[in-house]
Structure 1
């Protein structure tokens, strides 16, 4: 009896400009913040002091890089699993804060597909919008990736 791989990624031939995908929702936890700033060294007072009073953001903000990384992780588990070969370029714009306790999700829109000279590969560009639980836009980034195609 054969076993099918659960949720393999999309080959570039399965994508079209204009395709849109939504990630699952995920609540950002205190553990996410602590683990991320510990691993990266982003030990800014606003992230390590739960009672920091010098900031302009209410709540316990998290680094924008963490917000982006969480949505990237959701894409790796689904859209890109087994087909993503490399991230080539990324441009990020933070629009609003994400804090511990916020629930985020991402909407991915395919904006470009260009097959490469090496058969079976393409550069796929996408725009990713990240929203909080109130549907407020928190971040937008554009990314170019190298994806594999069918054999």
Structure 2
């Protein structure tokens, strides 16, 4: 077998997300799990400037729970990373709307994962795109629901 001289653009792309036509209302997906580390927390608060005492001070006396609290925004960002890398890579065009509720704390050392359920698909009149809404429920290692949010995104279609 000889080496190709050009890239075969017809070969399937590894890691390509779903086009909206591959999804259906009621379809559910489970993300990978991930343990939130001290490094995750330190880098996140450094990049975002969330230098709130509850996040940067070990044993902060005003904390409502034991352990190093993790901002809800970090929990959300980690789950969105899973969704981007697997479900909408190359097909997600825009985040249009987001409604989020934080239900329980996440602390350094917790392991999080999510269940994604497609709740609505509305094709648009432009370029075969669709507005896709999903409910994302985030759980910790003890199966406690720590966050729930609804994301409405613009997804590409076939052709």
TM range (shorter): over 0.9
User: Aligned to 1:56, which of 51, 64, 77?
Assistant: 64
User: Aligned to 2:138, which of 113, 124, 130?
Assistant: 130
TM-score calculated relative to the size of structure 1: 0.97
Structure 2 regions of 5+ residues with no counterpart? none
Measured after TM superposition, the shift of residue 54 of structure 1 is 1.5
User: Aligned to 1:70, which of 78, 82, 93?
Assistant: 78
User: Aligned to 1:20, which of 5, 28, 31?
Assistant: 28
User: Aligned to 2:54, which of 46, 53, 60?
Assistant: 46
SS of 1:101's partner is coil
Measured after TM superposition, the shift of residue 74 of structure 1 is 0.4
Say whether residues 1:150 and 2:129 are aligned partners.
no
SS of 1:114's partner is strand
Q: Which moved more, 1:136-145 or 1:47-56?
A: 47-56
Measured after TM superposition, the shift of residue 69 of structure 1 is 0.5
Say whether residues 1:30 and 2:38 are aligned partners.
yes
TM-score calculated relative to the size of structure 2: 0.92
User: Aligned to 1:140, which of 148, 152, 156?
Assistant: 148
Pair member with larger Rg: 2
SS of 1:75's partner is helix
